[in-house]
Chain A
């Protein structure tokens, strides 16, 4: 089946929907999502969205910019971070006007609370910068934007899985998608495609991410020739529920929660004397693992305690309601009476499809655009998060750059023509599916996936070293070759999850390889990338972005791209 639009957005999380709201006013736009729109993983964002509104105490965007640059371990591009921090208050007011139900101060303004790494006056003390709606901030913004799209009559294709991008002479002019309910292939023909498909946490065994977070957009853009940037930087959030990885928001520490080791000590005092439990995520995750290595995990096991008991029932029930219910349901712990067992959990990809500050996908170190192709949100690397993202900057990123993508696409559509679709654009995908349908493969999808997740968790998570990374790379390549003989067992056409699992696994394996190669290449420690064999940051050799390009039939190629440094020269990162 063929469809024609001015623009197609893939992904119905915050970045995709914000772009849809922007474009939908003047053009014909479709939103594709592999899950129903409101099931998107943006909805799981809990704690808040950062903006220097100064509603609770003095704040300004330059402090926000500085914190983000420092949080990024100076790898973030400062021109883009300036846009992010300056535009943040406008983005929040815009959300509020659209109807987002933020919590309020006694004066009726948008309430704000403290979050990790956000400080007043360039690092002096924590500042209240995160705007929030209890611990459901992502969910209420997602609902609001989705409902605004309904009002605008934007067309949704829910439960459609993108399979590949279509290009004509190096310019993107559409995509092929698989409809889950019918098993049919659809060709979408358009002037511009925005990829807003979110993260890829399912590469790792322990993750806060949804089952849907399989990096489809990243892998498909990569195969279509778009370079991936800074993929070695994977955020492990310090407080996932022990063994399950379900997130306990940083808001818990923003409201005063304390991490404690087996001796009951507030161990963050030793590592970050100024902001303690509100240090950035990369640092706290390392500290938790250091405590565990030193034998100070709870009862010698691999977790620590997040203690909220001193906050009192009122704060816990009103400001941290959602996570309180998670702790009760999944950890069997009532945060009012007892501490929550936590350990680091894979949470966010700082890296992604290389994009500029107008969300155009870029091809090289000079920033030449990939015409017709755009990326925004977690799947994009602008880069505003550099080597480590600060809490409550992710939602902000989706809204600021989702909107900019929309504006840029509108501009592009005015001058661009609809390119001709190549003959039988869906041929490769339909052949691939028929091959799988006929296959008598021997390899089990689930086995390959769990071996990949174990390997990445063991060798390419918080701490890394040369030997382990080589082992991981060998293993991933072995799994990639086994993947060629994978068995599809469900041969049906209606809700064939088995087929989808196989497609997703292919994407995860491609990305696992890129992450591991990028991690091997960066022989220094910076932000979330911590090399035990190169424990210092090395600005002389590595103050640059890692770029990886797909090379059909060969190993992916690595090159680098300079970092934009405008206001803040790299300094030692202490908290």
Chain B
């Protein structure tokens, strides 16, 4: 069946700003949006730039705005949309566009680094594993689903208004280590994000949760951080 793809284009070598280009693609209802982009690139326009790799929602490369909503292009099929086979594809908002649908994610990963995303322990590890309750592991487990696709942070209205705000993805990583019983740096971690650009930047607007392609309850996880900070007061 014939589908129309209107795609945002930007070539830094020639363009001052982005513009839209229209393509017609013969697609099956079960084709992924990524398959359609590939068809365009392979059969019509090899200059179209976008990122992709695993093509099944694990590597986190291909978060895009598809018909005004942030989605993974490899996780959405043509049949998932009720838009009369018309698609508008744009790069992730908030970030600078490098070319076409490729954005510069450096600010995203800079935020990630700020929360010290690694296990810190002042304990000497045992010979075997550290013991951890299954319930504890299950509590922070939702955060492990994160694939760093930047969907949440780029959709977050607070991030858009205040670029210094850490944003949902980085705070979710903080949540993961704060609630990991093996990490002993909990107090410092909490103190570091106990700020307006940190956890209190979150105004519980749920956009992050709404767009997360891995269905992580991001807002609820962030609320857990707020809860223990309140308890400490």
Listed in ascending order, the chain A residues whose CB lies under 8 Å from chain B are: 35-36, 38-41, 43-44, 53, 92-93, 96-99, 101-111, 133-134, 136, 139-140, 143-144, 147-148, 150-151, 181, 210-212, 246, 322, 325-326, 329-330, 332, 446, 489-490, 492-495, 497-498
* 8 closest A-B pairs by CB: A99-B119, A108-B131, A495-B49, A498-B46, A39-B59, A97-B125, A489-B46, A104-B134
Whether the Cβ atoms of B47 and A492 lie closer than 8 Å is yes
Whether the Cβ atoms of A109 and B58 lie closer than 8 Å is no
Whether the Cβ atoms of A211 and B43 lie closer than 8 Å is no
Closest chain-B Cβ to A99's Cβ sits at a distance in Å of 3
B57 at the interface (CB under 8 A from A): yes
Q: Which residue of B lies closest to A133 (CB)?
A: B144
Whether the Cβ atoms of B47 and A99 lie closer than 8 Å is no
Closest chain-A Cβ to B16's Cβ sits at a distance in Å of 15
Among B60, B118, B132, the one with the most A-chain Cβ atoms within 10 Å of its Cβ is B118
Whether the Cβ atoms of B180 and A101 lie closer than 8 Å is yes
Whether the Cβ atoms of B180 and A446 lie closer than 8 Å is no
Given contacts A39-B61, A148-B118, A494-B99, contact A93 B128 (CB under 8 A): yes
Residues of A within 8 A of B102 (CB): 495
Closest chain-B Cβ to A249's Cβ sits at a distance in Å of 12
Q: Which residue of A lies closest to B176 (CB)?
A: A101
- Using A35-B59, A332-B30, A498-B41 as known contacts, list a sample of 5 further A-B pairs with CB atoms less than 8 Å apart, ordered by residue number in A: A41-B53, A44-B56, A93-B127, A212-B53, A329-B57
B52 at the interface (CB under 8 A from A): yes
B69 at the interface (CB under 8 A from A): no
Bound Cα distance A248, B127 (Å) = 34
Bound Cα distance A324, B133 (Å) = 25
Can you offer 13 A-B residue contacts whose CB atoms are under 8 A? A36-B105, A39-B53, A39-B59, A39-B61, A106-B134, A109-B131, A136-B145, A494-B11, A494-B13, A494-B49, A494-B99, A495-B102, A498-B47
Whether the Cβ atoms of A101 and B56 lie closer than 8 Å is no
Whether the Cβ atoms of A490 and B47 lie closer than 8 Å is yes
Whether the Cβ atoms of A36 and B140 lie closer than 8 Å is no
Interface size class of B (residues with CB under 8 A): 35 or more
Among B56, B116, B144, the one with the most A-chain Cβ atoms within 10 Å of its Cβ is B56
Whether the Cβ atoms of A147 and B118 lie closer than 8 Å is yes
Residues of A within 8 A of B148 (CB): 38, 143
B182 at the interface (CB under 8 A from A): yes
Closest chain-B Cβ to A454's Cβ sits at a distance in Å of 15
B141 at the interface (CB under 8 A from A): yes
Q: Encode contact with A along B129-154: 1 for CB under 8 Å, 0 otherwise.
A: 11111100100110011011000000
Whether the Cβ atoms of A110 and B129 lie closer than 8 Å is yes
Among B46, B61, B117, B180, the one with the most A-chain Cβ atoms within 10 Å of its Cβ is B46
B6 at the interface (CB under 8 A from A): no
Residues of A within 8 A of B13 (CB): 492-494
Bound Cα distance A44, B147 (Å) = 11
Closest chain-B Cβ to A370's Cβ sits at a distance in Å of 29
Whether the Cβ atoms of B98 and A104 lie closer than 8 Å is no
Residues of A within 8 A of B49 (CB): 494-495, 497
Residues of B within 8 A of A136 (CB): 144-145
Whether the Cβ atoms of A495 and B98 lie closer than 8 Å is yes
